[in-house]
Chains A and B, each alone.
Chain A
Amino acid sequence: MIELKGVDFSYWDKQVLKDVSFKVNDSELVVVMGPSGSGKSTVLRLILGLECPSAGQVIVEGQDICVMKERDKRVIRKRIGMVFQDGALFDSLTVGENVGYYLLEHTRLKWPEISQKAGEMLGFVGLNPEEVGDKLPEELSGGMRRRVAIGRALLSTNPRAMLYDEPTTGLDPTATKNVLSLITKLHQEKGIASVIVTHQIADALEIADRFVVIYAGHVVFDGSLEELRVCEDERVVGFLEPFRKSFERVAAKNFVNGL
């Protein structure tokens, strides 16, 4: 579905990613972790073709997205849902218009029909459409905005892959739990490939099939939870040390679930 092959990327003279390679298979949920400024969000921008690497390839659905014409990139992007950090909701539109934005732009559907679909999607992401549909994004809490952003990405693209940029950063524990359970529900019910970029390790451990750790622009780990638990690379160990308790808790929970 998505593959990065030997990707280098620089912002002007600062090299952000160095020889980054990993793959996301269909229906797989991969969490990309790493300290702040390690280049995690750049990975998502590369997958969407918003940026192009200085070396290497970003393969999406079997094609290198960076050699495509802009028109072809748009076709690929329509099949990938992206939830930006802080939601990136259009602040001049209501919540309902935000969720129905893709349909407004790309279809000939009338507003009542779009509004109905947007309402259903708001319900799917756990929000009351009658309560929030006519509000502006600024009137919502951080967790609600994040859920609206997920709803907008889902309704817009009927996606084959979802990309989440720090979906739980800055949220309180209840909102974090709600957003994570929504991501898990989506992954399980719709079976779409998902890439979550986060530095909130405790959250990531609960939901991922596979983990990629980026440290100083390099991929220093790519594997399962069990492999991560026994990894001896000092950069990975140092980065994960503060979350050791969360590791043991999730490992124990998985063990019990597996019985």
Chain B
Amino acid sequence: MLGSLVRRPVYFNETMEQMYLIGVGSLFLVVLTGAFSGQGFALAFSQELAAFGAKDYLGRIMSMAIVRELGPTLTGLMVAARVASGITAEIGAMKSSNQIDAMVAFGIDPIKKIARARLISLMVMVPALTIVCDVVAILGGWIIGLFIANVTSTMYWSAVIYKLNFGNIFMGLLKPICFSFVIAFISCYMGFTSKGGTKGVGRATTNSVMMTSITILIVNFLITKIVGSILKGYL
């Protein structure tokens, strides 16, 4: 699949259609997730910080935790739940009704045609959705800070910007790119290898979501650990 990324044909229309389905289709879900997670996180932390007289640090914590950890992970999990199941089910249904074989019979490589379009779309849309999730979550934290925790806007935003350094932004964008590989690879693999008719497609879909979600959490930990130690001076 990786090798096919750079080979012709490009399947531009298919890729654009997938970008729309993945990006626009997941937008509402990601905005909701970001808004409620950001507010909940800010609410919990503002109370703890207030006990130590450190509520002005809310922006720093929000910025670091959301951009580096929560934003990418929550977006990855939401997209995995919504998109991985769809990709596996679609490919599995195509396989069980011989449509994949029909493609091969017409001299078309189904990996290029189906998997590559989805991989490229995910690589573009998951980071974009992560940025949206980050922005909404940090805005949610600002609302909590302003109306409940009594943190001034100036203090909150200056703290947020202070922690938006190279290391956090790099890690916050590297993670969704890795997650898009995880989602595309597992969901396509599960679809192409599904067998046993409709029951088999259902089983493959469930396994796809489960494996994608677990792998995202493991990859998230590994990136935090490995990249975190490499970029220690930049975080």
Contact = CB atoms under 8 A, between A and B. Distances in A.
A102 B102 CA distance: 11
A50 B97 contact: no
Contacts of A157: 106
Size band of the interface chain A makes with B: 20 to 34
A90 B99 CA distance: 6
A50 B102 contact: no
B105 A77 contact: yes
Contacts of A110: none
A78 B106 contact: yes
Interface residues of B, number: 12
A84 B101 contact: yes
B101 A50 contact: yes
Contacts of A91: 97, 99
Contacts of A88: 97-99, 101-102
A80 interface: yes
Nearest to A48: B105
B107 interface: yes
A45 B101 CA distance: 9
A84 B98 contact: yes
A82 B99 CA distance: 12
Contact of A50 (B99, B104, B108, B109): B104
A74 B113 CA distance: 14
B98 A86 contact: yes
A215 interface: no
A88 B93 CA distance: 11
Nearest to A85: B98
A82 B97 contact: no
A74 B99 contact: no
Interface of B: 9, 97-99, 101-102, 104-109
Interface of A: 45, 48, 50, 70, 74-75, 77-78, 80, 82, 84-86, 88-91, 101-102, 105-106, 156-157
19 contacts: A45-B101, A50-B101, A74-B109, A77-B104, A77-B107, A78-B106, A84-B102, A86-B97, A86-B98, A88-B101, A88-B102, A90-B102, A91-B97, A101-B106, A102-B106, A105-B106, A106-B106, A156-B106, A157-B106
